[in-house]
Structures are given as structure tokens and as C-alpha cells.
Amino acid sequence: IDRYAVIGHPIGHSKSPAIHRAFAQATGQALEYDAIDSPPDAFVATVDRFRASGGRGVNVTVPFKLQACAYATDVSPAARAAGAANALKFDGQRCWAENFDGCGLVRDIRDNLGQRLRGRRVLLLGAGGATRGAILPLLEERPACLFVANRTVSKATALVAEFHAAGAPNSLQGGGYDDLGRGDRFDIVINATSASLTAEPLPLPASALHPDGLAYDMVYGKGLTPFLRQAQAAGMRQLADGIGMLVEQAAEAFAWWRGVRPATADLIRRLSTPLT
């Protein structure tokens, strides 16, 4: 039987086994999917052992996403731009690295939440790994503007400059929270900071947010985060957490490994927790 796994440290809380087993059942694919806790300094040995035991592919999570990129023989453009991989596929001596996080985000916003990205003003908060992975998939939708705002302004401007040097259009801009709220409002605001994990509010002016827009927090299972609360107080009507992004990136990986894309709507509904 074909074996898959998610590798991380710690790994106990991972929803990936439940998601991929549900996909396997729904699509009639015979496979095993486990969670592997790897010692932080033994990622390569853990992956090698899994391959030797018949592993066909893995998902990779904290803290191994960078190492996964370095491990692979073939790194996709998405993984290269993100500087990190969240999925590996093994094929003899070859190992392919992919990053489906940004693609999962776009699919959730566009297909599940029904928000067009093309021609809209999109605000992306944070300049870490989560933002890095989201930039190219968001730009592919051709927003009127994609503004990356970060607490440490130099990190946002450096990140944007790096993408411009690689050919990104001028619709991609970067700056600080002080730059927000003075110009036109944003239709779609995405929180890619780690602030929701520590329940910290962001210095986000209400005047930057469009009431008809969507506020999207990449974290999930945390209810109404300070960011979503801020967006709600600013009058934004559509609020979402990142559970749909998680399921959609998993569906992309499943399709990449198995050649069949599972339906996601029912599973997202089942895994969703109330935003209160």
C-alpha cells in the first residue's frame, strides 16, 4: 500500500492525517497517511527512513519547511519563491518539492468564499514565510493592488523589492501600517502575521478596510481573533479563518500525488469552528 505522512515537530495537533484519510476514502484511493514526529536535527534521516519503508510523499510542517526545500532534487517555482516546501513527492532517486499554501489560500478566497481577486485591492499583513508563499499565487489573480504591510517596515520593502527583481508587477507594493488608511480602502485583507497565535491586535486603521470586503485570518480554530474582531468593528461583513486554506492546500497535494482532486466543501464545513 502507498504510504504518505506529515512530518513536523511537534506533530500531535496536525489535522493532515484526518484530512488525507477522508480524501482517500472519498476518492477510493488505497493509501496510508500517518503523522511522524521528527527530532529537530534529524529531518533528513527521518525522510530517508520513510522513503526506504515505501513512502511515496510527505507533507512538511514547522520547523522543517526550509529543510524540505534543501532536501529536494527538484524545487517548483512556487516552493522556490516561498523559500519553503510543504509537500514532497518521491520518484526513485528524485524528490520533488512543492508549496501549495498560497494556492490553497487563493482557492479558498475565490472558489469557497466567492471573492473575486482580479481588479481588487488586496492587503497582506506580515512579511514572514506565510506572506512569502502567498505573493505569487495572489498576483496571478491580477489584483489592482497587492500591498504588503509589516510592523518592521524594512522587511516588507525588502521582500517586495526581491519579488520586483524577479519580475513581479508594480501592483505589488510594500510598507508599514502607517501607510494604510490614507489612500483607497482594501477589499480583501489577509492576516499572515503570527499575531493571532499570541492573540495580539494589529495597528490596523479601520479607514483602510472596505465594509463590502473580506477579512481573512490564516490561522484556524481560534475563533474570532483580534484581527477578525478589528475587521468586524470596522464594519467588514465577511470574515473567515484559515481552515479552508488548510483543506485546499491538502487537496492540491493529494491531487499532485494521486492524480485525482478530492471535493473539499463538506470537509471544510465539518472542520470549521464558529467565529465567535
- Tell me phi and psi for residue 126, to 5 degrees: 110, 155
Q: Name the active-site residue from 15, 65, 89, 155.
A: 65
Convert residues 103-132 into a mask of x (bound to ligand ATR by CB under 6 A) and - (unbound).
-----------------------xxxxx--
Nearer to ligand ATR, 31 or 84 (CB): 84
Give the angle 132-79-198 at the CA atoms, nearest 5°: 40
Nearer to ligand ATR, 139 or 218 (CB): 218
Q: For ligand ATR, which is the closer residue by CB, 99 or 193? A: 193
Instruction: Based on the shown chain and the rule CB under 6 A, indicate whether residue 151 belongs to the binding site for ligand ATR.
Output: yes
Q: What does residue 251 show for φ and ψ, rounded to 5 degrees?
A: -65, -35
**Per-residue binding letters, 179-208, with ligand ATR (x by CB under 6 A):** -------------xxxx----x-x------
* Residue 262 near residue 27, CB atoms below 8 Å: yes
**Which residue in 113, 41, 91 sits closest to 256, CA to CA?**
91
15 assigned to active site: no
C-alpha cell of 174? 510594500
Alpha-carbon distance 104 to 122, whole Å? 16
Calpha distance 26→60 (Å, rounded) = 23
In 3D space, the residue among 254, 255, 275 whose CA is nearest the CA of residue 4 turns out to be 254
In the complex, the smallest distance separating the C-beta of residue 263 from ligand ATR, rounded to whole angstroms, is 29
Q: Which residue is nearest to ligand ATR (CB)?
A: 128
Q: Of the two residues 144 and 199, which places its CB atom closer to ligand ATR in the complex?
A: 199
Residues that bind ligand ATR (CB under 6 A): 126-130, 150-152, 155, 192-195, 200, 202
- Name the residues annotated as catalytic: 65
